[in-house]
Chains A and B, each alone.
Chain A
Amino acid sequence: MEELQAYPDIPLFRYQYTDLSLEEVTRRLNAPALSGPQSLDPSEDLANQVLHFRCEDGPELDFHFSPEQRVEVGGAETAYHALALGEITLISLLIPREARGYALAWDRNTHRATLFEFWFGNGPAPRAREINRAVWYGHIEADAAPSGEPHHPTLRCEGRALAWTEDTGNRTLEYYCSVTYSHWVELDRLSDNRGYSAPSDYVFLTEDIYLFARVEAEFSGLLHLYVMDANRLQSVGLRLGFNGADELEYYMFRGTAEWLGQNARFEALGDFSATPLAMPDGAKGERRIYRPLETMDKMTPAEVAEVIASGKVHVFDRDSPMAGNGTEKSEAMAGKTFAVHYDNGPRMEYRVTGPETLEWRMDARGGFTEARYNAWEVMPGAFIFGHLIEGAENHDCHIVVADFDAGLATNFHGYLNTPYFANEAGAETLFGKLVGDGIPDPGVQRHERTRDLLGRAFTWEYSPGLNSMHLYSTPNTTSWIIPTPSGHFATQWSGSGDFVKIRDQLYFARWQEEACNGTLGTILINMRTMHDAGIGYHMGAERGLSLSNVGAPARHAGKIDVDRFFGTDAWRGEA
């Protein structure tokens, strides 16, 4: 068994979080519940106040506060901590011995209030360590009736990004790139410069102040909740749950932020609806949480080999929904004879015998092997093409961008049989040069990794009804967000990425769907035509091994300014 780590030094999707039982969770919560959340900032003193929370279709709770940060709620006495941000007071507490608690955001001016009810175990989350939450919008009964706009879910944060620094010292980049998800990058506690995606709530409290909460589902299951003032760039928040070492984190914090920008959102103008994935018949707290590992095929090397040996291999032989709006394939490589010399990689010789057939030989070993390929000339003289390496032990593919005008080539070399799942694609990036008659010799020049895409978001319209947005959130992360038909971006996930500049406004990008669907996606993005062409490499139990085309027109949603948060070698995973 690997050593437990509070904040793992491996990607979170590789870390085996302990499957804590509800009994164990309850035991670990008991003492901290009685002492209340820790905080560097003293609590507001609410002694002798009584807050009657009322809402439609939800709980009615009376909070009776007493000295020394004690509160009685629902017949249970416990400890609370309260931090104020402007007119909003955020109060947090756990109910002893019951593995549940509350966070109350109370507007002292309007008496509007939002109650986060949270609990561990008994669903809908599949694991006891993953916190459940239900959100109730109501008010605090007072002499005066509640005034102002009721609290409600909001899309107003969608597209924004902030860099937060807590009073604990922890720094986090927060991309609010969806209405139901968010994407965060831990700059201190994690060291690999990756971003991760999690289901999130966005609540409108006032025109300035929002409540945000993400549950790090599929990972630790921690809740990270804060009230943020968008104008003053300040927050008060609560962190609750168990980290990778199964240590309870139960603390409140203050934060300050730096505004990083806002990417476009794509709802119709005037549409402010904010519950695009509503589940009116769902269980309490139920929402659509993408759990990709559950639906992913998980194959052994022997199973992969068996499926491939049975003939389930598809190389550009069927229509791809990922390219319904793709560009025409190019036949312009037919007749070319050339080689690609990769640095620290193979020397590939090519004889392109037709518009979809070529012959390759690796490192001058043996004869040539025929392979089916497809190619797209994305900018004059710059092609992306791909083919399988038949006979390779790991069922490799070469997906290559060849710039015949510059004599340069870059290969996203894909392969199967990774240590995690045999059908999950691994990838490496190989830089090299083209060699052949009429091809200029670039000498030592090579394509290079780029930050030009960092922080950018593009929408991709692959086929009618099949759209997504890419967010290149870190130097080694590609995140994808799926819209609803109404244009609300919703479910989100992410994986390893790599980004290479081919020419000005022409970029070769990839993503790996690790512990997800296993695909290696590659695209050559032309920012002048705002279109891409690419190739997907996928292995599945039912449909076998495939290379298929990818292509879509793009919209540039914007660019978030995050470059300064990453070191020069951040693409390697370590700053």
Chain B
Amino acid sequence: MSEFSKTDRRSFVKLGALAATPVAALAPAAAVAADDSAQRLARMEDERAIAGLVTGFVRRFNGDGDCSEFVASSGAILIDPQVCAITEDRSHDPQLTFAEDGRNAAWQSHAEVEMLTHFEGDSTLEKMARFQGHGSASSRASRKIEAEFARSGDGWTITRLALA
């Protein structure tokens, strides 16, 4: 299948708006054991922030495509260039895991993606498809959003996001 390629339209981010998407947090044992209500509250805020970040990223990806405000660097996003739209599948709970130090997190959720393939090659089949006026085709597939996050000075940022 097609290789993932790094997009060039993403750069540094600022923490996105919070969202209220519920997430199934798989917090590290130390965090779970903590009986500190302030720490629990902070963790819940982190969960909401990360879920909101993913939702904001998807919304922007489907919009003007400029996701720069959500990601740490232009190399953070690994999405097949054929993907033209992402729809989060909310019938499955996302999985969120925090690192021991609470400064990094990993996310996995389900999504439906729409892919647009342009027939630009020199195979006879592509040439004949273009000749018939069909220069591209769209298709849908189930994928997983796999993302990693880092806590920066003023919130969370995406350090890696891929569709698997």
Q: Which residues of A contact B (CB under 8 A)?
A: 277, 288, 290, 292, 295, 319-322, 324, 462-466, 468, 480, 482, 484-485, 490-491, 493, 513, 516-517, 519, 536, 538, 540, 542-543
Contact = CB atoms under 8 A, between A and B. Distances in A.
Contacts of B2: 319
Given A319-B2, A466-B119, A491 B132 contact: yes
Interface string B1-42: 111000000000000000000000000000000000000000
A324 B1 contact: yes
A171 B28 CA distance: 81
Nearest to B140: A464
Nearest to A463: B117
Contacts of A538: 122-123
Contact of B3 (A319, A465, A480): A319
B113 to A, nearest CB: 12
Interface of B: 1-3, 115, 117, 119, 121-129, 131-134, 136-139
A466 B115 contact: no
A519 B127 CA distance: 12
A519 B124 CA distance: 8
A493 B129 CA distance: 13
Contacts of B138: 464-465
Nearest to A546: B122
Contacts of B137: 463-466, 485
B132 A468 contact: no
A367 B5 CA distance: 40
Contacts of A540: 122
Given A277-B133, A468-B128, 10 more contacts: A288-B131, A290-B131, A321-B125, A465-B117, A465-B119, A465-B138, A466-B126, A491-B128, A517-B127, A519-B123
Q: Which of B119, B124, B137, B139 has the most CB of A within 10 A?
A: B124
A490 B125 CA distance: 12
A319 B1 contact: yes
21 contacts: A295-B127, A464-B117, A464-B137, A465-B117, A465-B119, A466-B117, A466-B119, A466-B126, A466-B129, A466-B137, A468-B125, A480-B124, A482-B125, A482-B132, A484-B134, A485-B134, A517-B122, A517-B123, A519-B124, A536-B123, A543-B122
B124 A321 contact: no
For the complex of A and B, 8 pairs with smallest distance between CB atoms: A465-B137, A464-B139, A517-B124, A482-B128, A464-B137, A540-B122, A319-B2, A491-B128
Contact of B123 (A322, A464, A485, A490): A322
A468 B128 CA distance: 10
A321 B1 contact: no
Nearest to B115: A464
A485 B138 CA distance: 11
A465 B136 contact: yes
Nearest to A468: B125
B122 A466 contact: no
Contacts of B125: 321-322, 462, 466, 468, 480, 482
A49 B134 CA distance: 48
Contacts of A290: 128, 131
Contact of A465 (B121, B122, B129): B129
A116 B1 CA distance: 48
B139 to A, nearest CB: 4
A465 B139 contact: yes
Contacts of A468: 125, 128
A433 to B, nearest CB: 33
A321 B122 contact: no
B121 A321 contact: yes
Contacts of B134: 465, 484-485
A466 B2 CA distance: 15
Contacts of B122: 517, 538, 540, 542-543
Contacts of A493: 124, 128
Nearest to B141: A464
Contacts of A292: 124, 127
Contacts of B127: 292, 295, 517
Nearest to A325: B1
Contacts of A288: 131-133
Given A319-B3, A464-B138, A277 B129 contact: no
Contacts of B129: 465-466, 482
A321 B131 contact: no
A277 B133 CA distance: 8
A491 B124 CA distance: 12
B123 to A, nearest CB: 6
Contacts of B136: 465
A281 to B, nearest CB: 12
Contacts of A536: 123
A298 to B, nearest CB: 14
B131 to A, nearest CB: 6
Given A463-B117, A466-B119, A466-B137, A516 B132 contact: no
Contacts of A322: 123, 125
B1 to A, nearest CB: 6
A416 to B, nearest CB: 15
Q: Which of B121, B127, B132, B138 has the most CB of A within 10 A?
A: B132
A201 to B, nearest CB: 17
A88 to B, nearest CB: 32
B78 to A, nearest CB: 16
Contact of A484 (B1, B3, B115, B132): B132
Contacts of A324: 1
Nearest to A323: B1
Contacts of A463: 117, 137
A482 B125 CA distance: 8
A321 B126 contact: yes
A157 B1 CA distance: 37
A540 B126 CA distance: 14
Nearest to A548: B123
